[in-house]
Chains A and B, each alone.
Chain A
Amino acid sequence: MNLKELSKQEERLESGHRLCPGCALPMIARQLLHSLHGEPVVVGCATGCLEVSTTIYPYTAWKTPWIHNAFENVAATMSGAETAYRVLQKRGKIPKDKKIKFLAIGGDGGTYDIGLQSLSGTLERGHNLVYVCMDNEAYQNTGIQRSSSTPFAAATNTSPVGKIKKGKEQFKKDLTAVIAGHHIPYVAQASPHNWVDLMKKAEKAFAVEGPAFINTISPCVPGWGYKSDQTQEMARLAVDTCFWPLFEIENDVWKLNYNPGDKKEPIINWCKHQARFRHLLKPENKELLDKFQAHVDERWEWVKKQCGK
């Protein structure tokens, strides 16, 4: 993965979109598009920040065919588009050797919660497409409401911190493991700070026959409450604290792609930069922090066990 060579490729997500300064979504989207090396691709986006802010009428930032979707149906729409392509090829309306890729993108709201049913159906039917979840851990687009992906103890507008309640009371849903349960050819978890890893995973996902799924962590400046130049750092810390392990599952074989080993950082190193976790720094909330840390450690051990480490 040579950045100098990649920078000669055409940019397929244009400037002028209206995502926040320092947003991780276009970073991930650009890495995905560059990993295709100019191959034709049809993109569909579920409702979310990326969908709304890149296509404010009458403008679009996409230089690919692009389909707008509601929250719940991007996987269904793209499975239809992929089927249409196969049928048209069979009838000779599209040349046999013309390869077209299909990419569905959803946020955590559109993937973990509302679009889960249509995604599950698409994976079960075995459509040849790639689904990428860009997980910013809440409904950031509608004003920071909790989702099933919001981590434990994080403050959102629907899980606020007050005298009695201290942020979200439940743990984050492990969606990547849920998808792994569909036994599709390729499942992975990636982060935009490690573009080599993310783009290699995207290349693999686009290459496999059948459905592929990549879950990516997408730090959010206003939702998480950190300085806009720290997006890459927040993604790195999520990985180095083992909150967001980097692994891939090829034909049901789990493989750990990155192990910080002795350099594993405590979860507080990630939390202390973020306003949504501000209350965890107070001595009276140490119990919460310990509970969060214990949960992260437990999940990390589980992932390592799956990967045979």
Chain B
Amino acid sequence: MSGESWKEIPIGGVIEKAGNSKEYKTGSWRSNRPIHVPDKCIHCMICWIVCPDCAVKAKDGNFSHFDYDYCKGCGNCAARCPKDAIVMKTELEAQKEDEK
């Protein structure tokens, strides 16, 4: 939207592109990061239904990955996981491991 003149803004403040909040990434809010442990996961999809940010991505009815662009690190997925297949790490710790 930046760079548009006011004449180009739709009348009534209508937002014409549905779901364009995706352009705003909330992953930088995160101070804790959920890490998936594939060996323990039974793909029950509880993490998917409880995620407030649609950051748990599913594929063909199975857990696929976390979308770290939007995950705010609340930890409800890890708290509800029945198999401890999601571990919460501090963002600092996780970033250090990424660098290795």
Is A254 part of the binding interface, using a Cβ–Cβ cutoff of 8 Å?
Answer: no
CB <8 Å contact, A8 and B19:
no
Most chain B CB within a 10 A radius of its CB, from A13, A62, A228:
A228
Is A257 part of the binding interface, using a Cβ–Cβ cutoff of 8 Å?
Answer: no
Nearest CB of B to A79, in Å:
21
Is A164 part of the binding interface, using a Cβ–Cβ cutoff of 8 Å?
Answer: no
Q: Which of A20-28, A98-106, A114-122 lies at the interface?
A: A20-28
Is A64 part of the binding interface, using a Cβ–Cβ cutoff of 8 Å?
Answer: yes
Name A4's contact: one of B13, B20, B52, B62 (CB within 8 Å): B62
B residues within 8 A CB of A11? 54
Is A55 part of the binding interface, using a Cβ–Cβ cutoff of 8 Å?
Answer: yes
Is B76 part of the binding interface, using a Cβ–Cβ cutoff of 8 Å?
Answer: yes
Which residues in chain B, 21-60, are within 8 Å of chain A measured between CB atoms?
21-26, 29-30, 43-46, 48-55, 58, 60
CB <8 Å contact, B23 and A16:
yes
CB <8 Å contact, A232 and B50:
yes
Bound CA–CA A62/B61 (angstroms): 23
Is A63 part of the binding interface, using a Cβ–Cβ cutoff of 8 Å?
Answer: yes
Most chain B CB within a 10 A radius of its CB, from A17, A19, A56, A230:
A17
A residues within 8 A CB of B13? 57
Interface size on B, residues (CB 8 A): 44
Which residues in chain A, 2-16, are within 8 Å of chain B measured between CB atoms?
3-8, 11-16
Nearest CB of B to A242, in Å:
22
Nearest CB of A to B30, in Å:
8
Most chain B CB within a 10 A radius of its CB, from A8, A12, A16:
A16
Bound CA–CA A7/B51 (angstroms): 12
Q: Write the chain B residue with the least CB distance to A13.
A: B54
Is A175 part of the binding interface, using a Cβ–Cβ cutoff of 8 Å?
Answer: no
CB <8 Å contact, A231 and B21:
no
Which residues in chain A, 234-292, are within 8 Å of chain B measured between CB atoms?
none
Is B11 part of the binding interface, using a Cβ–Cβ cutoff of 8 Å?
Answer: no
Spell out A's residues near B (CB within 8 Å).
3-8, 11-27, 30-31, 54-64, 192, 195, 221, 227-233
Starting from the known contacts A4-B43, A232-B79, 7 additional A-B residue pairs (CB-CB under 8 Å) come to A15-B21, A15-B53, A30-B49, A57-B15, A58-B20, A195-B50, A229-B88
